[in-house]
Structure 1
Amino acid sequence: MPPRRSHKKSRAGCRRCKARKIKCDEVHPRCGNCTKHGVACDFEHPGIVDTLSPVETPRPTTSTSNCDSPSTSTLPPTPSVESSTPLPLYRNPEPLPLTNSNKSNRMMELKLLHHYTTITCQTLAISSPVSEKIWRDTVPNLAFTGAEFLADALLAVSALHLRSHAPQDQELIRASHSYMASTLSEYSARLGKGITESNAEALFLTAALIAFQSTASRIFARDDSSDLKDRSDGYSLPLSWFHSFQGIKAVVASSWQWLRHSGIVIPIIESQPALNLDLSGQNANFFGHLLTGVEEEVASQDDPTTQELTRQAYQHAVAVLDWAHKIPHTGAPLVFLATVSRRFVELLESRRPRALAILASYFGLLKSLDSVWWLKGLARREVMGIVSLFDPDDEEWWPRLQWPVRIALYEGDFIPPDVWGAESCTETALLDQSGQNGGYVSHIELVSQMFSAVQNMPPTMPGDALDALAHQTFLARSQEFNRQMLLRDDTHVLH
């Protein structure tokens, strides 16, 4: 038997190689084995092993390539640093890099916020620099102080605005639906917990943006006046508009004790042109023909309370049309949505011919604001859609629809007085006459008092007492719509 070769046993190997009972090449400042497996070596940092728990002996493996893999090693990889740099005993993990999806979401939010503060905020108010500044500066700052539902509402509206320039952009479509779904969910939850002094402003502003989103979404509706007669489901009335604005009224009335002192809400309310309504219905006015025969219609209803509410609903709606007809370019026609009564909305839901004719005239008024992006082309589509609901042989109502049809189909940026039907008054002249009925603040004071008196009554009460219920109905429908849109990734939004 040949003699055994002599061998010199070294005790200068690194402690890791000793623990693993393998030969260490004793290369400094980091031995070959530690370098190979990307682990710390006490040659490089003599004090590190003393601070750690004993090195775990690795499980036997059949392949050396898997030996001491990151899943079984108890020591973190040694970073590439100069030997003179002290290695910290415990290192905070580096932040995970953003995934492509997270990066995309983050860039989308930045894009939407920038677009809102630079462009979209200018379109939320018409002829009101004060309101524009509030929507641009004050509202985002309020959203950043804990009102995430308000921030989501801003992003949803901004996405809708961008989508008006790129209707088929799937990312914008999803962003618009997703942010509004988040807004509706959190907004409903906050309303359920009650309005307080601390959240009243944010809830009012969110309600206003929800109403704006509902209104602006109509430009993406699939109802096209050119093919209404070819569609089996016909024309869809924009009832969500009215439900959302009834919701604003409910929020304002129930939180007026705090909003009346708000430096944010009051300027927005007072920026609207002052109401100067003739509620008697006795004086000559441009839309007076829409009230012809109203007493006969009212008399056909059995309940005296319903009769009076119906009469007042028609008279008030027509009075608003007459007032807005004189100052259309101030944005006055938009006030119609916020001022009509709950009873008028019910009459629309029943598709009463008089209510539909009044609504057609309202959309005719919106032709004066056709240059606004979220109203572009809307007057033509809505008027012709409402007309499609009438029998062409109806001799009673067709003559009353001639003005909105003529206005809706008019080509040109400026509608002359002989086509519009009357010389427009100046807003200053109407403001001088506003003392008779007061401005919006005094009107809201009365509504708030009424709301406080009836809020504990059963929900069968007609009229404005049902505003809150209407708003909850709108929210429920909006949430269901957004849920379906997110699931289906549809390219259309709420009618």
Structure 2
Amino acid sequence: MPPRRSHKKSRAGCRRCKSRKIKCDEVHPRCGNCLKHGVPCDFEHPELTESLNIPDTPGSFGAPSPSFSNLSSGFSPAPGPSVAARTLLTICRNPDPPAFSAASKNNRLMELKLLHHYTTMTCKTLTICDPSAENIWRDTVPSLAFSGNSFLVDALLSVSALHLRAISPHDQQLVQASHAYMASTLSDYGSNLSKGINASNAEALFLTAALIAFQSTASRIFVRDNGGDVKSRSNQYTLPLSWFHAFQGVKAVVASSWQWLRNSGIVVPIIQGQPALNLNLSSQESTYFANLLVGLDGELESLESDPASHMLTRQAYQHAVAVLNWAHKIPLSGAPMVFLATVSRRYVELLQARRPRALAILACFFGLLKCLDGVWWLRGVARREVLGIVHMFDPDDQVWWPRLQWPLRVVLHDGDVIPPEVWGADWEAESVLLDQANRQNGGGFINHIEMLSQMFAAMQNLPPGLPADTVNYAYSGAEQLISAQLVMARQEHGFSNGSRAGND
């Protein structure tokens, strides 16, 4: 009888592999099994390594509360009925639903505590520079949530728990509550998306998507790092790709449901509160971050043999840098956060591949967030993320190291106000030009969304059976086309690429 084949046990595997009782290859930052199934891995998301277990049934507000001692970070995809729904569901993976125990006095008190904190404190922090939307988040959104939208209620409670965690970071009950309510949110949210967006649920799904994006961003402040240890930081740093997935999810929800949202008294004011997107996509003009595009042609010649991929990669980089240039002029308006939703899917793919150019652009994006360090859910993020990205580069790299000096200089600057000589622009002067551009632009983000929704409608008519890459490329290409159309529209209405605030 032949000897038995030796078997090496996986003792440091991820929690998902352990729960499924399969061998984990222990590859960081994402094990092979999780990568194969397209699900998050707790190697990639260290904030999910709390001692939590997976629950079993979805919850609802007014029903028994989540059992905070029975949670997990396991995720599984939920199929959708259309191109738009598939796009949304691949962005937000649907977790196994959480289990609920019999309602207890402690859990009811926790829900009351979270709801009170949301309506008195958290709602004021969901907008950066648009106080007019505060009443909507405080009064209108909870009222809509209580009208049978349990996933929206859970999203409010989750974000409130996260805010309280920032105040009391060692409160384990708040840690468990934030995970429990977000797991419940994602489960019910994904289920509703798979059934399709309609007039009755479009507003609630948009608001939930926005809160999921907010939660994804705010969760990053609780990620543990390794202090000043350069070697440890470079080995264990993980890119915050969940930020992009969450914000791209908001964009997908808006675009696919705009026929119902365009007249919403809840959604439209929130969208109009965003600064008008005025991008300069001209390659003939020098811009502040133009050095991030230097050498692009040679790089594409060596890395992109397929003409279609070559074009999409070029457009992805040019569009991302254009957003940086726009946000750099008006950072206090919250414009830097728009980067997450407006960059193309191709750019996110380049980040996943850890292309140096994509990483350098990301470092500059986080450098822009330094001016928002006073916002609780962004506090310390700029410094930690820029240092993490920079340590992925060799200091002797003469090509990319010089281009990382601006984000490094900005995040290492002490003081609440960054002087123009460090930042590279005068915020006060630019804010006046922003006001002028917004008045001339009128619709702010509305025009952009109108064209994005038209693109989603066209994708609904794509022939069935197309490969996933074809659909994704169609999505990315259409996004770039929208940007080009906006350029022409601005020029037709008197904007010139030479103007400082009216560039598109």
* TM-score after normalising by structure 1: 0.72
Counting matched residue pairs gives 369
Contact 2:133–2:269 (8 Å) recurs in 1:
yes
Provide the rounded CA distance (Å) in 2 between the counterparts of 1:114 and 1:102: 18
Within the candidate set 223, 226, 232, 2:225 is matched to 223
Within the candidate set 422, 428, 436, 2:425 is matched to 422
Give the Å deviation of 1:279: 0.9
1:164-190 residue CA offsets vs partner (Å, 9 max, x unmatched):
111111100010000000000000000
Identity of aligned residues (%): 66
Bigger Cα displacement from structure 2, 162-171 vs 456-465? 456-465
Equivalent residues in 2 for 1:87-486, closer than 5 Å = 102-230=104-232, 233-300=235-302, 301-424=304-427, 425-433=429-437, 439-457=444-462, 458=466, 459-461=468-470, 463=472, 465=474
Match in the other structure for 2:62: none
Contact 1:321–1:336 (8 Å) recurs in 2:
yes
The amino acid that maps onto 2:161 is A
Provide the rounded CA distance (Å) in 1 between the counterparts of 2:318 and 2:333: 23
Provide the rounded CA distance (Å) in 2 between the counterparts of 1:339 and 1:331: 14
SS of match in other structure, 1:433: helix
SS of match in other structure, 1:278: coil
Provide the rounded CA distance (Å) in 1 between the counterparts of 2:240 and 2:422: 26
Greater gyration radius = 1
User: RMSD of the TM alignment (CA)?
Assistant: 1.9
1:207-232 residue CA offsets vs partner (Å, 9 max, x unmatched):
00001000000001123452351268
Distance 1:460 1:232, change over 3 A: closer
The structure whose RCO (Cα within 8 Å, separation 6+) is larger is 1
The amino acid that maps onto 2:155 is A
Give the Å deviation of 1:281: 2.8
Distance 1:465 1:160, change over 3 A: farther
Provide the rounded CA distance (Å) in 2 between the counterparts of 1:358 and 1:163: 31
Distance 1:217 1:439, change over 3 A: same
Provide the rounded CA distance (Å) in 1 between the counterparts of 2:459 and 2:442: 23
Give the Å deviation of 1:456: 4.5
Bigger Cα displacement from structure 2, 315-324 vs 293-302? 293-302
Provide the rounded CA distance (Å) in 2 between the counterparts of 1:139 and 1:464: 35
The amino acid that maps onto 2:289 is F
Distance 1:314 1:129, change over 3 A: same
Contact 1:211–1:244 (8 Å) recurs in 2:
yes
Give the Å deviation of 1:460: 2.4
Contact 1:201–1:265 (8 Å) recurs in 2:
yes
1:266-305 residue CA offsets vs partner (Å, 9 max, x unmatched):
1011100111110113212111110101122223311111
1:457-480 residue CA offsets vs partner (Å, 9 max, x unmatched):
32222546568xxxxxxxxxxxxx
Provide the rounded CA distance (Å) in 1 between the counterparts of 2:104 and 2:351: 45
SS of match in other structure, 2:127: coil
Provide the rounded CA distance (Å) in 2 between the counterparts of 1:436 and 1:325: 19
Provide the rounded CA distance (Å) in 2 between the counterparts of 1:341 and 1:110: 40
Contact 1:223–1:236 (8 Å) recurs in 2:
no
1:344-395 residue CA offsets vs partner (Å, 9 max, x unmatched):
1001000010110000001000000000001111111000000011112111
Contact 2:226–2:232 (8 Å) recurs in 1:
no
Provide the rounded CA distance (Å) in 1 between the counterparts of 2:391 and 2:442: 37
1:406-453 residue CA offsets vs partner (Å, 9 max, x unmatched):
111111111111111122243341243355796311111111111111
Match in the other structure for 1:65: none
Contact 1:160–1:172 (8 Å) recurs in 2:
yes
Moved over 6 A (4+): none
Provide the rounded CA distance (Å) in 1 between the counterparts of 2:222 and 2:300: 37
Provide the rounded CA distance (Å) in 1 between the counterparts of 2:311 and 2:442: 21
Distance 1:175 1:192, change over 3 A: same
